[in-house]
Amino acid sequence: MTLTRRRSESAPVNATRPSSALRSIRDAFANPKYGPIIVTALLLVGMFAYGMSQYRGFSNPQIVVNLLIDNAHLVVLAVGMTFVILTAGIDLSVGAVLALATMMAASLAQSGAPAGVVIPLILVSTTVLGLLVGVMVHYFDIQPFIATLAAMFLARGLCYVISAKSISIDAPFFTVLGQTRLRFLGLSVTPSVIVAVAIVIVALVVLRYTRFGRTVYAIGGSEASSRLMGLPVARTKVIVYAISGFCSGLAGVLYTFYTLSGYALTAVGTELDAIAAVVIGGTLLTGGYGSVLGSVLGVLVLGTIQTLITFDGSLTSWWTKIFIGALLLIFIVLQKILTLRRG
């Protein structure tokens, strides 16, 4: 009699476990902090499952590595863009600054300047440009859209001042790094991928475990509240745009390793790809929610779309833009729904 009573008493507890698990999954999807990135991860898995079922060779792990090789510069751009969008800002200059970095690298290398001087000079120059943009945004109260648009025209114009034609790079340091392939677990990896992964790890640590990172999220949540709490809003916003400038310069250096050239029309529209990757990766355009890891997943989604189209062979590259546009609209609507439900 006692045993039967104990079983009947424990039955409701066991019966509630499945519903609790389902409720936890539902809450995770409904949370703007985790929901979009979970959707992005599932989308990426679904795309790879489709590719493996349709095309021979798509299951090769080298395919994933090739995505990183081809998009190492975009990963670095997306990291910088994530910092900016987390503060509810935007940076339209990253593509032009990347092109400027390639032109500086090509022209300086052609003149015989050593790589130990060229690369630091590029990174310092692009960081200072980002710093100036941050000053305009915060201290002069200029909208990020306008400030970064001005920086975009400035950087693109400077590219043409350097040269209107493509400049090839034959300096030993650039050619060696551009042609080097490292073997890791049977896969072929370029040095650019190592650099991009290192930048992602550093950004993850900074955003998650430092006061600066917590301030970035707080500003995106509410800049006015951040000021009332005594957080260094001004310094953080300026540094965020400096980080974006640094990442743009570094992305330009990585792109020179990839193409071994500099060209004024390089990366036209790449700023939109970076923004799309960040948004598809789950970072809210209104700021306050997002992750660098999600932005990397967003880059992989964009690269996978291009890879699927390449494997198909019957579609033009313009279909990439169509699919990206559709995904971007879907994720913006998803963000809006999650934000309204959260409110």
Task: For 138-174, write each residue's pLDDT tens digit.
Answer: 889 899 999 999 999 999 999 999 998 999 998 899 9
Is pLDDT at 57 greater than 90 in this prediction?
no
Q: Residue 190 contacts by C-beta under 8 Å, 6 or more apart in sequence?
A: 69, 72, 180, 181, 182, 257
Among the listed residues 328, 249, 311, the one whose alpha carbon sits nearest the alpha carbon of residue 56? 311
Crossing angle of helices 172-179 and 233-259, rounded to 10°: 80
What is the distance between the alpha carbons of residues 244 and 91, in angstroms, rounded to a whole number? 8
Instruction: Report pLDDT for 285.
Output: 86
Assign 22 a pLDDT band (cuts: 50, 70, 90). low
Instruction: Report pLDDT for 271.
Output: 93
Report, as an integer, the average pLDDT of 219-225: 90
Report, as an integer, the average pLDDT of 84-96: 95
What is the distance between the alpha carbons of residues 263 and 95, in angstroms, rounded to a whole number? 12
Assign 1 a pLDDT band (cuts: 50, 70, 90). very low
**pLDDT, greater one: 35 or 85:** 85
Q: Average model confidence (pLDDT) for the chain?
A: 87
**Amino acid, single-letter form, for residue 321:** K
**Could you tell me where the DSSP H helices lie in the chain?**
2-30, 35-54, 62-70, 72-86, 94-110, 115-138, 144-162, 172-179, 191-209, 211-221, 223-228, 233-259, 270-280, 292-312, 318-342
Q: Comparing 77-91, 151-165, 264-278, 302-316, which segment has the lowest mean pLDDT?
A: 302-316
Residue 184 pairs in a beta bridge with 187
Instruction: Report pLDDT for 34.
Output: 67
Domains and CATH numbers, the chain: 37-342 (1.10.3470)
Report, as an integer, the average pLDDT of 229-241: 93
The string of DSSP letters for 196-257 reads HHHHHHHHHHHHHHSHHHHHHHHHHH-HHHHHHTT--HHHHHHHHHHHHHHHHHHHHHHHHH
Assign 132 a pLDDT band (cuts: 50, 70, 90). very high
Is pLDDT at 29 greater than 70 in this prediction?
no
Instruction: Report pLDDT for 134.
Output: 95
Pick the most confident of 65-69, 155-159, 301-305.
155-159
What is the distance between the alpha carbons of residues 258 and 206, in angstroms, rounded to a whole number? 28
Instruction: Report pLDDT for 332.
Output: 81
Pick the most confident of 37-41, 184-188, 252-256.
252-256
The pair phi, psi for residue 59, each rounded to 5°, is -80, -5
Among the listed residues 246, 288, 275, the one whose alpha carbon sits nearest the alpha carbon of residue 123? 246
* CA neighbours closer than 13 Å in the CB half-sphere of residue 286: 11
